[in-house]
Amino acid sequence: MSSQVVSFDVESFNQQATEFLNENPDIERLELLFVDLNGVLRGKWLPVSSLLKLAKGAFRLPRSASFADIWSDDVEKLGLGIQVGDPDAICLPIIETLSRVPWSKTASAQMLLTMVDQEDMQPCKYSAREVLQGQIDRLAKQQLTAVVATELEFYLLDVNANKQGLPQPPLDSQGKRLAEGQQYNMDVLDNFSEVLDAIASAAAIQNLPVDTTIAECGAGQFEINLLHQTSALLAADQAVLLKRLIKQVAKQHGYRASFMAKPYAHDMGNGMHVHASLNDAQGNNIFSSDNGAINEPLQHAVAGLLDTMQDTQLIYAPHLNSYRRFLPGFFAPISPCWGYDHRGAAVRVPEITGVGARLEHRVSGADTNPYLVVAAVLAGMQWGLEKKPALSAALSEEDDLNALEPMTRHWAIAIENMKASAFVDDYLGAPFNYAYTGVKNSEELAFAASVTQLECDTYLLKV
């Protein structure tokens, strides 16, 4: 975690904000957005006249907004919310994220916020964005800069559930309900071109560098990639905002968009893949090999991710439903393993030479908090560079993934693994670990206390 007092360039903010207002004189409403530990957007609407006041720390939210549970409740057991008076924190604006809201009927702008403690202007220990900033600061001490890109998978859903009350694929432009695999199917892209083109247009308005769009394996599933950034914070900001954009534009076109890890039991899950490399002070990619073989820095980074994966799996799979992805045969990793061009690997190394040399972290579901995922990936890479653990052999086509040591498929175990992790305490911060695992433990207990329809159907009259 970063421990420096947060500095804020008021003059630069006011200049950029004024330029935005001059270019967008019709804007009436300002939508301020803060991302909690679950990746849920919280915030307020304000009149646009309040924009220039934000640089003075005029906007505040309860600190507990950063660690609310998935149902937006304060986790009393943490003792951090109402038990201590539910104190406010100052929310500072992130001017790079100021943009128009193209789907709003009222002319509006949106902007992300970051949270700092009002007493001493220290970064909020429980803020996901500040957890990522801590990893960036740690890399900077080694004169390293992360280069990051994300890929997001999502489902378009019918606005109406099926007869069982479950989600169902949408009707395409031909009035046909999707019902089968569609990977890379160009006809599917054509039949959903209206909403996909609208997503691309809205992304351009919001300066989100959308690159590739593909039809994915599931019925109604798509993937959109964002271009790499030399600011890991900006890459995570863009992933958060793209998720919001996709949901809102889909709603405009009569669909629901879901980033739930596994909305269908028997179809592919939604993942968020992270591509990452490291540049030195001269801008050179330290993962680039000069002899045609994977070099030591990349080996160590991959090994670090594999060795810390058990500690951080809760970040990559934060919800009960997240663990539905970790099943054989669904192109989601089920073991902490790596390979060069193997999409069953947890960490894939698609390129080892030139500026494109990088690793691809494939464990996370799309239901995650992008800031925490990128932070955990960078932390694992740094741990590997520092500790230099041995790297296991790369996967081959002949390897049986089911024979490898698996990642856990149990939420409660992942919670306990992270709670006990000295690695997480050291790299991501003990206060963050306490709050995050406390929230997850509270959520897990709520689900454990429920009895499902399947349980009743199975056991009620048979035992």
How far apart, in whole angstroms, are the C-alpha atoms of residue 241 and residue 248?
11
Q: Which amino acid is at 232?
A: A
Question: What is the tens place of the pLDDT at every residue in 282-326?
Answer: 999 999 999 989 999 999 999 999 999 999 999 999 999 999 999
What is the homologous superfamily of the domain 10-126 according to CATH?
Answer: Glutamine synthetase, N-terminal domain (3.10.20.70)
Banded pLDDT at 133 (limits 50, 70, 90): very high
Residue 251 host element (H or E): helix 232-252
DSSP per-residue codes, 279-293? E-TTS-BTT--SSSS
SS3 44: strand
DSSP letter, residue 83: G
- Least confident residue range of 2-16, 82-96, 110-124: 2-16
SS3 245: helix
Residue 122 CB coordination number (10 Å): 16
SS3 299: helix
- Rounding to the nearest 10 degrees, give the CA dihedral for residues 227, 136, 436, 268: 20
Is residue 2 over pLDDT 60? no
Is residue 58 over pLDDT 90? no
- Least confident residue range of 54-63, 120-129, 288-297, 396-405: 396-405
Q: Which amino acid is at 163?
A: K
What pLDDT score does 6 carry? 61
How far apart, in whole angstroms, are the C-alpha atoms of residue 82 and residue 118?
17
Distances (CA, A) of 128 to 116, 125, 226, 373, 439: 12, 8, 20, 10, 14
Question: What is the tens place of the pLDDT at every residue in 264-273?
Answer: 988 899 999 9
What pLDDT score does 4 carry? 57
Note whether 58 and 118 are within 8 A (CB): no
Question: What is the tens place of the pLDDT at every residue in 135-178?
Answer: 999 999 999 999 999 999 999 999 999 988 889 999 888 888 88
Residue 145 CB coordination number (10 Å): 18
How far apart, in whole angstroms, are the C-alpha atoms of residue 198 and residue 200?
5
Question: What is the tens place of the pLDDT at every residue in 355-395?
Answer: 999 999 999 999 999 999 999 999 999 999 999 999 999 99
- Give the pTM: 0.95
Do domains 10-126 and 139-452 share one topology? The answer is no
CATH class of segment(s) 139-452: alpha beta
Q: Which residue, chain included where needed, has tokens 């799979």?
A: 317
How far apart, in whole angstroms, are the C-alpha atoms of residue 214 and residue 221?
9
Domain ranges of the chain: 10-126, 139-452
How far apart, in whole angstroms, are the C-alpha atoms of residue 232 and residue 278?
11
What pLDDT score does 176 carry? 85
What pLDDT score does 225 carry? 97
Residue 327 CB coordination number (10 Å): 13
